Structure 1
């Protein structure tokens, strides 16, 4: 019987690199022992995927491996780097110096997910923010107890299109450098960040997501090219947003998550959110508190016509208590075609609420009402809708699992 032929080793380098790019970095490096043909192949693979789990969660071993890979890698360009690791309180301390080498190799994508319990912030090298090839960057750097602050001396990322930042502290200086130094930035996602940002103004930004961030000052959002806006915050922080000139807005998602902290509504600024959504085609609200009406009274009275709105979805724990929000949209949305109401509370029919409805909506093509599977039919809500909608098209009422 003839010896088996190593057909894989005979593949062209570009095909071989494509195959190896689907492996983790550790698995790629291990291929060097297969034969002479494979000895240095790992050094030119365009994708490096570093996973702490491949090292039995040994942070020291993992850190040494990452540094060694970059020290011994050739000059060939990278396409993508993924790093998922953790720093513990060791003599080495938290280090992200490998990012400096990674940026030098001109990748298009960098994804960093790191958890640190070292009593010192992680230092992100400035070179990362001057990588001309970078198109997508994600930094999720959760540091306990010290939050990592991003303060590069300058930002010059001409190719960057998408940026995701999580668990970081960001200020106005960073925001200004970012929006000036990223002329191609179309998508920005901020999650669980400490925001000391007063202004997000961009003529090119198309998608903005701000979720579960702690805000410490008013934030003005002025983005004429913005198509998608998603904001999820507590009812106090949400009042800090000021929306201006969102002339291209198509989809807006607003989530109000409630806050146990008791704050006098009179001490807070007037909400200026609803009026900034007037150009949207689709709007979705999630109200996780039974009663937000005190926070929205003045903002509702200032609402302009939602001239493009065709689909409105509201999910609420207190649908009847917040009916004035529904009524506001119905009254000011002449083209509204579909209304979806998701009752999240089982006790909707127990709430007594008198609503003065002084307008009529001529026609809705579709009204979908969902209520908890073990709850009661929302008769009061249906009655209140009947008072302000002259003609319904299709009415769909269904119970769903909570």
Structure 2
């Protein structure tokens, strides 16, 4: 064993530090007892990885350890900071003042995950402003999991000239934050927001290439205007949908859209006109989940403005009632001259055999290379849907019908 330690000790510093970067910081610090060669080496490892599990879930011990590391580490630059902790009781949240010291060491990545252990926690998490002015920062991830009081982020300013990716969970985000973010991050390529409360009316960026908005509660109509956007994913939970308009998505290739949920107190007739379907006209691949029947009439208004999907080659639609959403399917087929693959995923085990006149639309598609129809295992074969497609698609090169597990 001593011979093995000696062999490792003879490695160049950069190689040794690279190996140690795969360990948690507690494990790295413990190597100082191996020999004189190792005594201070931990202070130059470019990754700090603080894990609450290393301290038997004792938040106070983790906090003291983090403070000790920064007091003794010196000023060598950081590559990455990882922190996984939690709110420990109902009186206060974890101290994040150490992030001030971390930001001074010019890290490229900051990854913070905070969970809560007790439902009584009512203290918000405070993220120091220095995090939002770290000139070296390329990747920032803030995950605030299962905290009853959602944290508001309101930095005085945002100046992150190197930031490329940003992920935010369980936060309150407003227009002031969005405007500062998009102006202060000139090279931001990827933005993901999940389980956030959004008081945002506009996301406009000339550089953003990937945008994910998942399981967020929208409080107002939101416009997305991103000419360089390549990938878009919007997934709404029940009772969280507000209308989203898409503008100038001229570079869009892939899009995933879920139209699921509607505030029970919201009258769809009072909603502003949206431009969702027409805003997706440049995409090559589209996936849609049509979940809320209350929004069906509303989305019809948008369909009438639908332009040709001139690049669309792959279309996937998931719905509980595929028959009564057939007019939406028809809209895509009518306006997609290059469509090669159509995938229909029926979620209900029973097919609605009733069809209203307005759903029995008249159109004809010359050919589709592949049509895949999925229906639930132990569910009914979607005979009516197959018949409706057969009457309107002139040629099927391949048609696949299969039952799948829910």
Q: Please, what TM-score do these two structures have when normalized by structure 1? A: 0.95
Gap change, CA 1:243 and 1:235, over 3 Å in 2: farther
For residues 391 and 50 of structure 2, what CA distance do their matches in structure 1 show? 60
Tell me the residue number matched to 2:112: 112
Instruction: Tell me which of 181, 185, 190 is aligned to 2:184.
Output: 181
For residues 180 and 370 of structure 1, what CA distance do their matches in structure 2 show? 44
CA drift at 1:271: 3.6
1:84-95 maps to which residues of 2 (within 5 A)? 84-89=84-89, 93-95=93-95
The runs of 4+ residues in structure 1 deviating greater than 6 Å are 2-5
Instruction: Tell me which of 139, 155, 160 is aligned to 2:158.
Output: 155
Query: Which secondary structure state, in structure 2, belongs to the residue aligned with residue 7 of structure 1?
Result: helix
Tell me the residue number matched to 2:67: 67
CA drift at 1:352: 4.1
Whether 1:365 and 2:366 are equivalent positions in the alignment is no
Gap change, CA 1:91 and 1:366, over 3 Å in 2: closer
For residues 252 and 106 of structure 2, what CA distance do their matches in structure 1 show? 34
Q: How many residues align?
A: 401
1:205-241 C-alpha deviation (Å, 9 max, x unpaired): 0000001111112211110000001001157754421
8 Å CA contact 1:318–1:348 kept in 2: the answer is: yes
8 Å CA contact 1:239–1:271 kept in 2: the answer is: no
8 Å CA contact 2:327–2:360 kept in 1: the answer is: no
Tell me the residue number matched to 2:345: 342
8 Å CA contact 2:241–2:262 kept in 1: the answer is: no
Question: Mean alpha-carbon deviation: is it higher for 270-279 or for 203-212?
Answer: 270-279
8 Å CA contact 1:108–1:135 kept in 2: the answer is: yes
Instruction: Tell me which of 356, 359, 363 is aligned to 2:360.
Output: 356
Q: Please, what TM-score do these two structures have when normalized by structure 2? A: 0.94
For residues 5 and 230 of structure 1, what CA distance do their matches in structure 2 show? 49
For residues 202 and 162 of structure 1, what CA distance do their matches in structure 2 show? 14
Instruction: Tell me which of 224, 227, 230 is aligned to 2:227.
Output: 224
Tell me the residue number matched to 1:134: 137
8 Å CA contact 1:239–1:269 kept in 2: the answer is: no
- Stretches of structure 1 that go unaligned for 5 or more consecutive residues are none
Query: Which secondary structure state, in structure 2, belongs to the residue aligned with residue 348 of structure 1?
Result: coil
Tell me the residue number matched to 1:11: 11
CA drift at 1:353: 4.4
CA drift at 1:368: 0.7
1:203-352 maps to which residues of 2 (within 5 A)? 203-234=206-237, 237-259=240-262, 261=264, 263-289=266-292, 292-352=295-355
Tell me the residue number matched to 1:396: 400
Question: Mean alpha-carbon deviation: is it higher for 243-252 or for 366-375?
Answer: 366-375
CA drift at 1:190: 0.6
Query: Which secondary structure state, in structure 2, belongs to the residue aligned with residue 138 of structure 1?
Result: strand
Query: Which secondary structure state, in structure 2, belongs to the residue aligned with residue 377 of structure 1?
Result: coil
Tell me the residue number matched to 1:46: 46
Question: Mean alpha-carbon deviation: is it higher for 192-201 or for 351-360?
Answer: 351-360
For residues 371 and 301 of structure 2, what CA distance do their matches in structure 1 show? 27
8 Å CA contact 1:81–1:110 kept in 2: the answer is: yes
C-alpha RMSD over aligned residues:
2.0
Query: Which secondary structure state, in structure 1, belongs to the residue aligned with residue 6 of structure 2?
Result: coil
Tell me the residue number matched to 2:23: 23
8 Å CA contact 1:291–1:318 kept in 2: the answer is: no
For residues 135 and 378 of structure 2, what CA distance do their matches in structure 1 show? 56
Instruction: Tell me which of 170, 190, 200 is aligned to 1:197.
Output: 200
1:68-91 C-alpha deviation (Å, 9 max, x unpaired): 111211111110111111021277
8 Å CA contact 2:138–2:163 kept in 1: the answer is: yes
- Stretches of structure 2 that go unaligned for 5 or more consecutive residues are none
Query: Which secondary structure state, in structure 2, belongs to the residue aligned with residue 397 of structure 1?
Result: strand
CA drift at 1:65: 1.1
CA drift at 1:259: 4.8
8 Å CA contact 1:357–1:387 kept in 2: the answer is: no
